[in-house]
Structure 1
Amino acid sequence: MGARVLVTDVAWPTTDVERSVLAGAGAELILAPPGDTAALAALAVDADAILTCFRTVSAEVLDAAVRCRTVARYGVGVDNIDVGHATRLGMLVSNVPVYCVDEVADSALLGILALARRLIPLTRDVAAGGWGRTVPGSGSRLRGKILGLVGLGSIGSALAERAHALGLDVVAFSRSPRPVPGVRWAASLKDLLAEADMVSLHMPLTDRTRQLIGAAELAAMKPTAWLVNTARGPLVDTAALLKALEHGTIAGAALDVTDPEPLPADHPLRTRDDVVLTPHTAFSSDGSLAELARRAATNVVDVLAGRLPATIVNPGVLTSAALRTPLAAR
Structure 2
Amino acid sequence: MNEGNTDEFDVLVLRKGTHGIPIEQYAAALRERLTDRTVRLARTPAQERELIDDAEFVTGMLLSDDVLEAATNLEVFACAYAGTGHLPLDQLEERGVAVTNASGVHGPNIGEHVLGAILRFTRRFHVGQRQQDRREWRHYQAHELQGSTVTIVGLGAIGQAITERLEPFGVDTIGVRYTPEKGGPTDEVIGFDGDAFHEALARTDYLVLACPLTETTRGLVGREELLTIDPEAVLVNIARGPVVDTDALLEALRGNQIRGASLDVTDPEPLPEDHPLWNFGNVQITPHNAGHTPKYYDRLADIVAENVERFDAGDGADLRNQVL
TM-score band (shorter)? Answer: 0.7 to 0.9
What residue in structure 1 maps to residue 216 of structure 2? 208
**Equivalent-residue separation in structure 2 for 1:65 and 1:271 (angstroms):** 49
User: Within 2, Cα distance between the matches of 1:110 and 1:242?
Assistant: 23
Matching residue of 2:132? 126
Shift of 1:303: 5.5
Q: Residue 188 of structure 2 corresponds to which residue in structure 1? A: 184
Q: Residue 166 of structure 2 is aligned with which of 163, 166, 186?
A: 163
Residue of structure 1 in register with 2:16 after alignment? 8
Match of 2:40 among 24, 28, 31: 28
Q: Would the aligned equivalents of 2:19 and 2:292 in 1 still touch at CA under 8 Å?
A: no
Q: Over residues 23-43 of structure 1, what are the superposed CA-to-partner deviations in whole Å (9 max), with x where a residue is unaligned? A: 9533421246xxxxxxx7x77
Amino acid at match of 2:209: L
Paired residues of 1:79 and 1:206 also in contact (CA < 8 A): no
User: Given residue 98 of structure 1, which amino acid in structure 2 is its aligned partner?
Assistant: G
Question: Residue in 2 aligned with 1:149?
Answer: 152
**Aligned-partner residue type, residue 87 of structure 2:** I
CA displacement, residues 61-110 of structure 1 (integer Å, 9 cap, x when unaligned): 56544435443222322222232332124332211212332222121111
| CA drift at 1:196 | 0.6
Aligned residues: 300
2:289 pairs with 1:313: no
Aligned-pair RMSD on alpha carbons? 3.2
Quote how far apart the aligned CAs of 1:299 are. 4.5
Whole-angstrom CA distance in 2 between matches of 1:210 and 1:28: 39
Helix, strand or coil for the counterpart of 2:165? helix
Shift of 1:259: 3.1
1:73 and 2:79 matched: yes
Q: Structure 2, unaligned stretches of length 5 or more?
A: 1-5
Once residues 303 and 271 of structure 1 are traced to their aligned partners in structure 2, the CA distance between those partners, rounded to angstroms, is 52
Alignment pair present for 1:107 and 2:113:
yes
Which structure 1 segments of 5+ residues have no match?
33-39, 315-330
Compared CA separation, residues 114 and 202, structure 1 to 2 (3 A):
same
> 1:116: which partner in 2?
122
Residue 268 (structure 1) aligned with residue 276 (structure 2): yes
The structure-2 alpha-carbon separation of the partners of 1:121 and 1:50, relative to structure 1 and needing over 3 Å to count, comes to farther
Match 1:254 to one of 262, 267, 278? 262
Higher relative contact order (CA 8 A, sep 6+): 1
Counterparts of 2:290 and 2:114, CA distance in 1 = 8
TM-score (norm 2): 0.78
Structure-2 change in CA distance of 1:290 and 1:239 (3 Å): farther
Summarize the Cα distance change of 1:72–1:224 in structure 2 as closer, same or farther, 3 Å threshold: same
Assess if the C-alpha contact under 8 Å between 2:145 and 2:169 holds in 1: yes
Distance in 2 between residues matched to 1:304 and 1:261, nearest whole Å: 41
